[in-house]
Amino acid sequence: MARTIVVTGASAGVGRATVRAFAREGARVGLIARGTDGLEAAKREIEELGGQALVLPADVADADAIENAAAEVERQFGPIDVWVNNAMASVFSPVKEMTAAEYKRVTEVTYLGYVNGTLSALKRMSPRDRGVIIQVGSALAYRGIPLQSAYCAAKHAIQGFCDSLRCELIHDKSNVQLCMVQMPALNTPQFGWVKSRLPRKAQPVPPIYQPEIAADAIVYASHHPRREICVGLPTVVAIAGDKIAPGLLDHYLGNTGYDGQQTSEPADPNRPDNLFKPIAGDHGAHGAFEERAWSVSPQFWATKNRTWLGAAAAVLTVGSLFLISRSER
């Protein structure tokens, strides 16, 4: 049976790749973002892939707009089965050069946008006692890096919000599922439109993965919701490293984090950014790092197949013990 899905930030990047992946399952997808060009293009792609789509231009920072969008999805497509919070905003800048307005805007989109989406999803899912809420996170939800303080803080806030909500769902004995999917560096258009004060063009910290890997993880989480799913070995290493040696990471990132987030090309100080208003046009799912991006993640493959791998490991262990016991007789 076709499911009803809502994805925020659906017009480009991870959101765009995700709605395509859901469309291949024949899903009915509510598309939320500010830019109508990208939303209309995403709608066409979904319909070509066999799904249905509803374009819902809205800013996730506007709680009333998100509530109205959720109501429209259920009016046209029926009960929402999966809600994916993915919309984000960021600024590449040292803290000392940031403004209060920039921090406010990034927080409203990247953190409160998730809160607004979650509230609208819970309002509908809780009475039905079913549904899945997926928060698209990042390794930066655990480990802050230089030049992205507003974004890192927002991702940390989402992590804390999810911990609190998860406890409440357990208390209520609710069957609504909550999953946070922590992402690695991804080849998305955001690095070309995010506001930046860097002297050189911004880039994701290598290794870089294609957004389809993120989409695969989100769709997988919608069928197999876990507390948390990490995507890509660098994500696992960053989270574990911050728990084991945070001070060492402070110094490492202080020495490497500036160059690691910039290419060798000079930035255009006059290019437009999408912090306060969308940039016109259809930007698609992929960014400018096509030749450097990985199309596979062995770590995530292992995560998806961990039950099978665990069973295989158990069989090998038992077989080895059997052979050892035979040889010692």
Number of residues written out for the chain: 329
Are β-strands 82-85 and 132-138 bridged in parallel, bridged antiparallel, or unpaired?
Answer: parallel
Count CB atoms within 10 A of the CB of residue 185.
Answer: 24
Backbone angles phi, psi at 128, to 5 degrees: -85, -15
The pair of structure tokens assigned to 67 is 């509530």
Is residue 111 annotated as a catalytic residue, yes or no? no
Kindly tell me the burial class for residue 199, based on how many C-beta atoms sit within 10 Å of its own C-beta (0-12, 13-18, 19 or more): exposed
CATH fold for the domain made of 4-296 = Rossmann fold (3.40.50)
Q: How confident is the model at residue 303 (pLDDT cuts 50, 70, 90)?
A: confident
How many angstroms separate the CA atoms of 180 and 118, rounded?
12
DSSP secondary structure of 190-211: HHHHSEE--SEEE-PPSSEE-H
Q: Which of 139-153, 234-248, 275-289, 308-322 has the lowest mean pLDDT?
A: 308-322
Catalytic residue among 111, 114, 142, 151: 151
Within a 13 Å sphere around the CA of 92, how many CA atoms are in the beta-carbon half?
Answer: 26
Write down the domain spans for the chain.
4-296
Sign of the four-CA dihedral 131, 68, 135, 296: positive
How many angstroms separate the CA atoms of 259 and 199, rounded?
10
Number of H helices, E strands in the chain: 12, 13
pLDDT tens-digit series, residues 150-192 = 999 999 999 999 999 999 999 999 999 999 999 999 999 999 9
pLDDT tens-digit series, residues 18-74 = 999 999 999 999 999 999 999 999 999 999 999 999 999 999 999 999 999 999 999
Residue 300's pLDDT is 86
Kindly tell me the burial class for residue 278, based on how many C-beta atoms sit within 10 Å of its own C-beta (0-12, 13-18, 19 or more): buried
- Under a CB-based contact definition with an 8 Å cutoff, are residues 12 and 284 in contact? yes
Q: How confident is the model at residue 322 (pLDDT cuts 50, 70, 90)?
A: very low
Q: Helix axis angle, 149-171 relative to 112-128, nearest 10°? A: 20
| pTM for the structure as a whole | 0.92
Q: Which of 77-81, 111-115, 298-302 has the lowest mean pLDDT?
A: 298-302
